[in-house]
Structure 1
């Protein structure tokens, strides 16, 4: 069946219920009619028995009373066929002759359908003939219209109730079908919007049925598609960012290397006093810049280096040491807590160093003069967590949902690349980068697995037999 779903639901249910109610009503009417017909026939038969056994004269007055009891008309004809008495004088003049009416036989006349039919005054009657005293004949005439009227009286109530039940059923089914149709229409609209790229959700409504489950599933699909679109857009932006950063880094690497070699050559030629550490600081800063450039090149895939075991605890202490002159100049206190034992993980050291350094630079700038920056590390059996926090005011609330997106920054002179690159490093190592604000501190947690899942999978694969 084609057409709207409400029609597909409404028509079959109403048809089945109508047929069922019609069958029940017909059965009830038939039983009630049969019972009423049997009662009327038996009542008339009882009147006939009284008249048949009577010894009183059958006058018009007596026949009129019998008509009131049974609803039948009575006509008495004498031996010569003349009307001697009648319950209805007008009908007596048009009554058929006695010879035209069959004799009354009780065992056979149990139903009006078993009574013979005669016509008087153009109307049909159920008729029978009995013998009366003095050779007279008693004609019994029961109007067929009375039986039909009695049949309608019996059937009116069941038929009315049946029609009312059909109407109520149709109305209830229509309401139910339209309710389902509206929900399906809303769901169809949502699917159409999803096809157009709008991944909004709709309210499941108050129902707790299969359609509500379907709406919940479509809403879940909308959320997944929305997340996938956001992830794809983020991946495209991050890829573009990495390419741009790697392009700039490729140009800067040679310049930084030349500057570092020039400072080192100057230190060898000119020497430095014991208390003058400026050339050493400059050299370390240039080396730090070179490491950042190498990390950017790794992100941009312009340099590919395999992961190697690296002591991340030592890496954190090294980054803190590189930042110490800058922190002292900015009047920011550095707190470093790392395990005494090495925290080794298989990583690309330059990119991880660049990520930690970006987090530390952000923390230094956010803490401001008189602030504090803390480095914490938790080395678990499977992962290592590097926590970089500051007691600054924290990022603006409106930036919180997109804080890791490229070019998103709350600093007037910021570019918005540090956190995006740090997250790229975490994702490249199958780890993660998260942040929170608690007790006046803003903390960024870089999680790095100890073993790269891809390398572990490769190591577990069976090698061919070189026999």
Structure 2
């Protein structure tokens, strides 16, 4: 049987509190009633002692005054057992001498005394023989049972009411605390159910500073991580699909490009063009640039990966600048090639780095637009080399800033969003990074690669 956490907290605590409060309350009520009874006994004994040591006769007036002081009725008997005086206004209700009533010298308790019924009222009856009176005379003390019980109740009800109120207050507070804790745990249960259903929303931490808040904070951190993991999985799935498509397409394109380039080169040898005609050179450069794109697709699809080798960065950038020269002329963009003044070498996949830089430069040409400027340079940064491509364009849109390097993310109407994804993958495969900044109207894309490629466990480098 399912037992809710609220009941697990509430029932044991209320039971323990109830037992403790009931024990304290009953003990207090018993002490209070005992104290009241002793007060009544002491008052009666005081009156009896006064009557027993007095030399004046027991007259109706004396007994009436003693009744006013003690609340009890008195009946005086002579040595022959005949009633002489009484505090009752109607002596006819009194019985003949009560042989069943024990005679004591001192009144100790009313509750243990026998009771008699006189005129429809029950009395505790005790016969006392005064010490200073002649032998055989006695005094009958009749204390109303209702007055005795009322006095005990008047003494007992305040602690009883206080105990009941305390128990009710404790039960209410305990119920509120249990309800509050179980409610917070119920919210966590709902949150976990949402997570199981794929909804990674975060739960409100609340104002409490306790273990439940710590648990809520941990669940929120888990939700954030799960969201990030889901995004990563989605991105990886898209990349995997892209890699499969790119690999099949790239193999077909590479074969076609190789045939086209060999045909143009053979034609140029057989039929040299007029002096100053560079159309065949431009066609070969365009084919070479397209071939670099195909190599990038093959790298994205992990179909082939070249072994790292030493090469000079400035020479690679010169090759890229030569490849994109026709594109710059067509787009009316000025390309500035800055040199560092000292040789910079890398040990990396030269083909992969060339393809990444080529994609960055082509993106910069489109971003700069007619009349714009782009700059290509290599900057040494200790054990790293930063290849920086700058353009005078407006920079990427703000809404795409966080996902700019993901596949299929582009702001161009006819773009496919693969250039930066390819460049970013090259940077990651070499243990580097691709970053960008935009300041003073210039956008800088920086491809940072270590001078020596770190060994990656499980990486398969194939020499092609």
The TM-score normalised by the length of structure 2 is: 0.88
| Corresponding residue SS for 2:297 | helix
Partner of 2:442: 441
Which ranges in structure 1 are unaligned for 5 or more consecutive residues? 459-467
Partner of 2:126: 127
Partner of 2:66: 66
Partner of 2:218: 217
| Corresponding residue SS for 2:248 | helix
Partner of 1:140: 141
Partner of 1:17: 17
Given that 2:101 and 2:125 are in contact with CA atoms closer than 8 Å, whether structure 1 keeps it comes out as no
Counterparts of 1:235-246 in structure 2, within 5 Å, are: 235-246=236-247
Cα offsets for 1:232-264 (capped at 9, x unmatched): 111110111122122221111122222222333
Matched residue count: 455
Partner of 2:114: 117
Partner of 1:462: none
| Corresponding residue SS for 1:454 | coil
Partner of 2:416: 415
In structure 1, C-alpha distance between the alignment counterparts of 2:336 and 2:152, rounded to whole Å? 104
Partner of 2:103: 103
In structure 2, C-alpha distance between the alignment counterparts of 1:98 and 1:190, rounded to whole Å? 83
Partner of 2:50: 50
Q: Is 1:82 matched with 2:82?
A: yes
In structure 2, C-alpha distance between the alignment counterparts of 1:3 and 1:91, rounded to whole Å? 69
| Corresponding residue SS for 1:355 | helix
Given that 2:257 and 2:287 are in contact with CA atoms closer than 8 Å, whether structure 1 keeps it comes out as yes
Indicate the RMSD between aligned Cα atoms, in angstroms: 2.8
Cα 1:379–1:25 change in 2 (3 A) is farther
User: Please, which moves more after superposition, 371-380 or 71-80?
Assistant: 371-380
Given that 2:105 and 2:128 are in contact with CA atoms closer than 8 Å, whether structure 1 keeps it comes out as no
Counterparts of 1:324-363 in structure 2, within 5 Å, are: 324-337=325-338, 339-363=340-364
Given that 1:246 and 1:300 are in contact with CA atoms closer than 8 Å, whether structure 2 keeps it comes out as yes
Cα offsets for 1:127-184 (capped at 9, x unmatched): 2422374653211122343332222111211111111111122112222222222211
Given that 1:295 and 1:353 are in contact with CA atoms closer than 8 Å, whether structure 2 keeps it comes out as no
Cα 1:408–1:5 change in 2 (3 A) is same
1:185: how far off?
1.4
Counterparts of 1:276-291 in structure 2, within 5 Å, are: 276-291=277-292
User: Please, which moves more after superposition, 62-71 or 229-238?
Assistant: 62-71
Which ranges in structure 2 are unaligned for 5 or more consecutive residues? 460-464
User: Please, which moves more after superposition, 331-340 or 257-266?
Assistant: 331-340
| Corresponding residue SS for 1:446 | strand
In structure 2, C-alpha distance between the alignment counterparts of 1:271 and 1:355, rounded to whole Å? 34
| Corresponding residue SS for 1:100 | coil
